[in-house]
Each structure stands twice: as C-alpha cells, then as structure tokens.
Amino acid sequence: MAKLTEREKMVLYGLVRWPNLNDIELSKKIPVKRPTITAIRNKLKREDYFSDIIAPNFEMLGCEMLVFRYGSFNPIATYEVRKKYLAEILEKFPEVFFRQTSDSQRVSISAYANFTEAMRYVEHAYMTYCKHDLLSNDGIRHIFFPLKLSKLLRFFDYSQLLKRDFRINLKDDKSPLESVFRDVERREFTENEKLVLYALVKYPELNDREIAKKVSMTRQSINKMRKKFEVEGVIKRIRIPNIKKLDYEVLALVHFFNNPKYSMEDRREGLKHVLSYPAIVFLLVSNLESVVIGVEKTFTSLKKDYDKFLGWYKKADFIGKEPVMVVIPIEEIKEGTYGRYHQLVKKVLQIKHEV
C-alpha cells in the first residue's frame, strides 16, 4: 500500500465514493474537516492518486450497445510491434472508451450506435490484426450487450474496494441493484448542448468559467446546462484511483455464460452476491452473458475470491458453462484508458467544431 495517512485514505475514499460533492458537502459524509479535505485533495491530485472522468449516458447519446473484447496476441507481436496498428484503428473508430493492453493480452469496451457500426469495427480490427499476424490461436473474442436487454450495475466504481482495503468504517447507502445509468430513450440535443456536452466530457476537470471560454458562451449558460445534464442523467462524474500507485497487482476480466433457465430477475440474489465483493469494479449483465472486471492486491487473493464466488454461483445453478477469466498484471499494462468518451460523443452527435 502506498504510504497514505489514515486521513488521506479517508479523503481518497470519500472523493471516489462521492465524486459530485464539493469539500463542504464531503465533510458531512466523512469525519474530516473541510480545510483538511481541501489540502489533502490538492495533494492527492498533485501526486496523481486519482483522475476525474465525466461519462455520458450511452442511450441518451443514441448508442444501442456495448461491446467487450478480450483476447491474446501472437507472442512475437509485442505491444511495441502492435501499437502503430492499434493507433490507426482507434483513430478510425473512436467508440473504444476503455482499454487495458499488455504485451500478450487486451481487454476493451466500446459503445456503438447500432450493430452495423459495431461490426464495422470488428471486421476492420480483425482483418488488420490477421493481415499482420498479430493474433494468437485464441484470437479476440467479442461480447455484444444491447443496452435495452442488459443492466449496468457497476461502472468503474472503486469505492468499495478502497473501503475494504483502507478499512473505512462508514455506513454505505448504495442500492445493491441500482442501474448506473437510467433506462432512457435517445435524447435530442440542441447544437449548443452538443458542444457543451462534448466540452464537459473532454475536460472533466475544468470549471464552468473555463468551459465557457472553450465554447464561447457565458459561465451562467454552462452552469445551467451542466446542472440540467446532471439532473437528467445525461452525464455521470467518476473518480478513478491510481491502482498502480496504490500497489494493486492484478486486473481481471471474467466472462460468465449464464444458465439460460434463469433470467436476470431470477438471478437477483445472485447479482446481489456478486456486488458484495468489493474487488468488483465493473458489472454488466444480460440474460445469457455477464462480464465482471475486478482489481486485487495479489493473484492469490483474486483466486480465493473467484473460487468462493464461483462455488456459490454453481451451487445456485446459475452457471451455463465454465467462465473465461483473463488476468493482466497491472505492472505489465503498456497502455490503458478509462475515459476516452469525448471522441465517442463527437462522432455519435456529429459535432463539427473542436473545443
């Protein structure tokens, strides 16, 4: 564990758990005074202990599905060999917003307007990788999650992980099965709203005055639109801790094949059980498949939790066939991103201006 004081751990947990609160509001949630919170926040930010992200509501943008990819590469095609082709693919397809890549493995998540756009990426990437002999025999696997048929139950939320490992003793008021984003229809945006949304997502750390300068509007207009977006659920602020700096060693993705005899509603208690594991920072489920992303201190602790969890799920008869687990040592991650949303927003909303 990085050498943080008990107060610094408490503040970092609070910043991650309640990313929308200012320091005065946060001081009412955690037993630390406002001036101390401000000083610690500034120190933690300066020393790169966390980063701010503003994520859009995918359905409001007009995206119909999320697509997961995971797989392994040809051992001789290291990241240094692949990165030129990867950069070309990402420039052509900005829908990829999460990516963790090592020399041998890759995990990524994308959002698409429709199945055709998703397959356009799949075909282009697969053909590029095959042309240059970059894939292993196992190749890359794609999992399609139509948002209307899926539930996003945890979205890069590290608060429970920090709460456990920092030994924070505070009551948590989270609803265990509350969807991260509201179930909504596509929203129509004015041209000004599109531009402001794009700027907010691109520059999550800027205040309203700074955003106003970027888009040539008044601070009052930005403030009004930001609040409106937050109330309507158009945007969600997320705070990501620096897991490498905090001495976490492994990131794991688990692809579950659910027993088709049981719907998501039938598995309700099982989903609560999944979310009781603090190491799980991401959970997306559908009737037939589910994906979990977890972070742990060691492979041993990961395996212990995984075996315990899998045993419970098998006993409940919720497993259709053996899950697939991809483990990436955090130290070996060559390139990773948690928040490449602005290019997605720009493409989907067809924004012509740069900010």
Which of residues 176 and 355 earns the better pLDDT score?
Answer: 355
What is the band of 177 on the pLDDT scale with cuts at 50, 70, 90?
A: low
Residue 112 within a domain? no
User: Has residue 183 got a pLDDT over 70?
Assistant: no
Q: What is the pLDDT of residue 260?
A: 95
Residue 1 within a domain? yes
Q: Tell me which residue range forms the domain holding 30.
A: 1-47
Work out whether strand 105-112 and strand 96-101 pair parallel, antiparallel, or are unpaired: antiparallel
The secondary structure of residue 186, as a DSSP letter, is P
User: Has residue 182 got a pLDDT over 80?
Assistant: no
Which of residues 336 and 21 earns the better pLDDT score?
Answer: 21
Going by C-alpha positions, the residue among 325, 338, 316, 331 that lies closest to residue 294 is 325
Query: What does pTM read for this prediction?
Result: 0.92
Counting residues of the chain whose pLDDT is more than 90, the rounded percentage is: 74
The neighbour count for residue 308, using CB atoms within 10 Å, is 11
Residue 354 within a domain? no
Please give the average per-residue pLDDT across 16-20, as a whole number: 95
pLDDT winner (highest mean) among 34-43, 133-142, 328-337: 34-43
Q: Where are the beta strands (DSSP E) in the chain?
A: 50-56, 65-73, 96-101, 105-112, 135-146, 150-155, 235-241, 250-258, 280-286, 289-296, 319-329, 335-337
Which of residues 195 and 353 earns the better pLDDT score?
Answer: 195
Please give the average per-residue pLDDT across 261-290, as a whole number: 92
What is the band of 55 on the pLDDT scale with cuts at 50, 70, 90?
A: very high
Residue 21 within a domain? yes
Question: What CATH number is associated with residue 36?
Answer: 1.10.10
User: Has residue 180 got a pLDDT over 70?
Assistant: no
Question: Is there a contact between 288 and 156 (Cβ–Cβ < 8 Å)?
Answer: no
User: Has residue 84 got a pLDDT over 80?
Assistant: yes
Residue 352 within a domain? no
Please give the average per-residue pLDDT across 195-218, as a whole number: 96
What is the band of 109 on the pLDDT scale with cuts at 50, 70, 90?
A: very high
**Secondary structure of residue 69 in the 3-state scheme:** strand
Please give the average per-residue pLDDT across 201-214, as a whole number: 96
Residue 13 within a domain? yes
User: Has residue 110 got a pLDDT over 90?
Assistant: yes
Q: What is the pLDDT of residue 268?
A: 87
Q: What is the pLDDT of residue 282?
A: 95
Counting residues of the chain whose pLDDT is more than 70, the rounded percentage is: 96
What is the band of 2 on the pLDDT scale with cuts at 50, 70, 90?
A: low
Going by C-alpha positions, the residue among 94, 160, 150, 145 that lies closest to residue 296 is 160
Q: What is the pLDDT of residue 174?
A: 64
Structure tokens at 324: 């697939």
Q: What is the pLDDT of residue 171?
A: 80
Provide the domain count of the chain: 1
Structure tokens at 308: 């315990």
Work out whether strand 289-296 and strand 235-241 pair parallel, antiparallel, or are unpaired: unpaired
What is the band of 220 on the pLDDT scale with cuts at 50, 70, 90?
A: very high
Residue 14 within a domain? yes
User: Has residue 175 got a pLDDT over 60?
Assistant: no
Please give the average per-residue pLDDT across 292-321, as a whole number: 92
Please give the average per-residue pLDDT across 137-163, as a whole number: 92
